[in-house]
Homo-oligomer: A and B are copies of this chain.
Amino acid sequence: AAGTARGVALAAAAATAVALAVAAWRRARPVREVLFFPSRPCCIEALLAEAAEPGAPARPCPCPLPSGDTALSRLVRRLLSARRSLDLCLFSFSCPQLARAVQLLHRRGVRVRLVTDAQYMGLHGSQIGRLRHAGIQVRHDQHSGYMHHKFAIVDRRMLITGSLNWTTQAIQSNRENVLVVEDAEYVKAFQDEFERIWEEYNPANYRFF
């Protein structure tokens, strides 16, 4: 009996060690993900609730949408993983769900900066005004050319970039791609581009003709 008990304990310890090793390997392995859209419609209320109040008991959402694993839910998860900073460089931002995720991060103390296009920020449904009202720093171009990037950088560590504008139309109806990469070289190139644009679009530099 003692031998059996020792065997069970040993097996349990071995299983724990393997689980810990797998978890460590998962944590250490840099993210490399490709998301294709259109995304199946899905409910992200549970994701937002968990991010707003980690560990709080889940309240079922009354909406009829499934809350499964979709391109949109994966994108939201990546954004909500931000702990310190979120730099957004977005041509068009009108998706209310993504705006709620960004506001939530801002409320949680994440430093959010947003660069956008002057001609698109005022269009119907744009979330830029709402984000500014919430206290998020927004800068925009002053050119006739478009600020056409569509990328985000999470914690100066993870780059999210592709063809996807942050609009409900794009998410639900278009063929689109998004790359999620934790790669120091790519992140640095995009972070440098963000800082260049952030400085160039500083309102102190506006010219009034």
Question: B residues within 8 A CB of A150?
Answer: 163
Interface bits A173-195 vs B (CB < 8 Å: 1, else 0): 11111010000011001100100
Determine the residue in chain B with the shortest Cβ distance to A175. B147
Known: A175-B197, A193-B177. A169 touches B145 (CB 8 A): yes
Q: Do B185 and A161 have beta carbons less than 8 Å apart?
A: no
Is A133 engaged at the interface, CB distance under 8 Å to the other chain?
A: no
Cβ of A205 < 8 Å from any Cβ of B?
no
- In the complex, A145 Cα to B168 Cα: how many Å? 11
Which of A38, A149, A175 has most B Cβ within 10 Å? A175
Interface size range of chain A in the complex: 20 to 34
Most B CB atoms within 10 A — which of A143, A162, A169, A173? A162
Q: Main SS of the interface on chain A?
A: mixed
- Chain B CB within 10 Å — which of A148, A151, A176, A185 has the most? A148
CB-based contact B190/A177 at 8 Å? yes
Q: Say whether, besides A32-B185, A34-B186, A190-B34, A148 and B161 are in contact (CB < 8 Å).
A: no
User: Is A110's beta carbon under 8 Å from chain B?
Assistant: no
Whether the Cβ atoms of A145 and B186 lie closer than 8 Å is: no
Most chain B beta-carbon neighbours within 10 Å: one of A143, A163, A186, A189: A163
* A4 is an interface residue with CB less than 8 A from chain B: no
Asked whether B175 lies within 8 Å of A146 as measured between CB atoms, the reply is yes
- Enumerate chain B residues within 8 angstroms of A179, measured Cβ to Cβ: 161, 179, 186
Given A144-B173, A149-B175, A161-B179: 11 more A-B contacts, CB < 8 Å:
A34-B190, A38-B145, A91-B163, A141-B175, A145-B169, A146-B173, A148-B170, A149-B163, A151-B163, A162-B162, A175-B193
